[in-house]
Amino acid sequence: MQGLNLLYAGTLPPHPGGSAVSGSQILIGLARLGHAVRALAPIAGDARAADDPFGAAHPGIPVTRFPVPYYETAPNTPSSDDYRRREAAGIRSNLDRLIRAARPDVILVGRESFAPHVLHAARARAIPCVVRLAGSTTLGIVNGTYTGSSAERLLEQLRSADLLITPAHHLADSVRALGLERVRTIPNGIDLRRFAPRPGDERLRRALNISPDDVVLVHASNLKAIKRPLDIVRSAAVTLPRHPRLTYVIVGDGDCRKAMEEACRDAGFAQRFRFTGWIDYAHMADYISLADVVIMPSEFEAQARLYLETQACGRLLLASDVPGAREVVVDGVTGLLFRTGDVEDLAAQTLRAAADPTLRADIGRAARVSAEAHAIDAAVAAYETALRDVVRQRAI
């Protein structure tokens, strides 16, 4: 079967968000299946196209970069007017040039905020267009953090897409409730070789100054309010007096980091927390493998990659009881759930997991088996089918 000529517009590494990781994995997989893949993606600050680590690692996938002031990691709220103007200009000017150079069979949009600009160009040229809804922007529309006019403009554009792809069934239901009908769910895919059960890296443990007898609790996110990372600090005020060998490792960066660090100092247990900032995604499995428990207290998740990565590594996932978590966690079997926003319940479940290595091991084994349904090859094959279906339907 002849390969597709695919043009991707969305985030890619070094952007630290989950949409960039998912987008990169999909493109790499499709290229390996013999499809011609090109990409258009932002790059932040003073970085240049020559500094593009994704492009350097995958020379068979030509990447056109356009500059943005910073990497937007909170797409559940609209970006500033200046950011949106720069993003729009970068997408539109480069997209036109890429389409003129080689007309694609289909365009895949990797992030909702790109959709208005890409869909406009695709409609003008009668090119099929598929949009991957990562989730945060859709949440912003549902809960009102996207203003009425911004939300309506985005929804109007999304209605013209040939297909919308969500990573979770509950998100697909929310999308349909917004009046968007052409929706398909393809769960996130995980590299089960990279994310696999293995002992923690002792060099990393020493670098983080973690003692061998410590119980390690890891959280990784963009540290935005929607992730509720301050709940972890508040719960530590309950857990540490009862289990003083807990060590919390906070991976990532964002608006709540300063407040978290200040709260730790004020409470007198800053020495029990490690703040790493952003790390290269290539090292994420090292941090998860160091963990005894991975904590995700978010008030919303579409389908957090960290859920699946934790389970694939055979570690215990402790997650807030939100629809995204319920799709992948059987409470007490493949993870533990606690009441969202309930710091006391978070603390109680943390202490339960910390005190019971047998529970952690049993859940970790079952979680690994569950995660095997999310193999990246299966996700890529599902994207290939979806893209071919859209091209075929347009040709009828």
Confidence of residue 272 (pLDDT cuts 50, 70, 90): very high
Residue 121 has pLDDT above 60, yes or no: yes
| Closest-CA residue to 245 (of 207, 266, 271, 222) | 271
Under 8 Å between Cβ of 68 and 40: no
Structure tokens at 194: 């990279």
pLDDT in tens, 135-151: 777 777 776 676 667 77
Residue 129 has pLDDT above 60, yes or no: yes
Please give the pLDDT value at position 125: 93
- Superfamily name and number for 202-374: Glycogen Phosphorylase B; (3.40.50.2000)
- Looking at residue 12, the DSSP 8-state letter turns out to be -
Give the highest mean pLDDT range of 40-44, 156-160, 244-248.
244-248
To the nearest whole number, what is the mean pLDDT of the chain?
A: 93
Taking the model in full, what pTM does it have?
0.94
Residue 2 has pLDDT above 60, yes or no: yes
Please give the pLDDT value at position 286: 98
Please give the pLDDT value at position 76: 67
Q: For the ranges 33-42, 67-76, 117-126, 243-252, which has the lowest average pLDDT?
A: 67-76
Q: Where in the chain is the domain with CATH 3.40.50.2000?
A: 5-189+375-395, 202-374
Edge-first strand listing for the sheet containing 183-185: 63-68, 36-44, 5-9, 106-109, 129-132, 163-166, 183-185
| Closest-CA residue to 33 (of 377, 375, 393) | 377
| Closest-CA residue to 263 (of 251, 244, 248, 277) | 248
Structure tokens at 364: 């970790």
Residue 108 has pLDDT above 70, yes or no: yes
Mean local confidence (pLDDT), 32-45: 94
pLDDT in tens, 317-352: 999 999 999 999 999 999 999 999 999 999 999 999
Please give the pLDDT value at position 134: 82
For the chain, give the percent of residues with pLDDT over 90.
77
Mean local confidence (pLDDT), 52-62: 89
Between the alpha carbon of residue 76 and those of residues 123, 135, 226, the distances in Å are 26, 8, 9
Q: For the ranges 8-17, 74-83, 100-109, 259-268, which has the lowest average pLDDT?
A: 74-83
Mean local confidence (pLDDT), 34-49: 85
Residue 111 has pLDDT above 90, yes or no: no
Confidence of residue 12 (pLDDT cuts 50, 70, 90): very high
Confidence of residue 46 (pLDDT cuts 50, 70, 90): low
Mean local confidence (pLDDT), 157-180: 92
For the chain, give the percent of residues with pLDDT over 70.
96
Matching CATH number, 5-189+375-395, of 3.90.180.10, 3.40.50.2000, 3.40.50.12280, 3.20.20.70: 3.40.50.2000
Please give the pLDDT value at position 148: 66
CA atoms within 13 A on the CB side of 139: 20
Mean local confidence (pLDDT), 158-179: 92
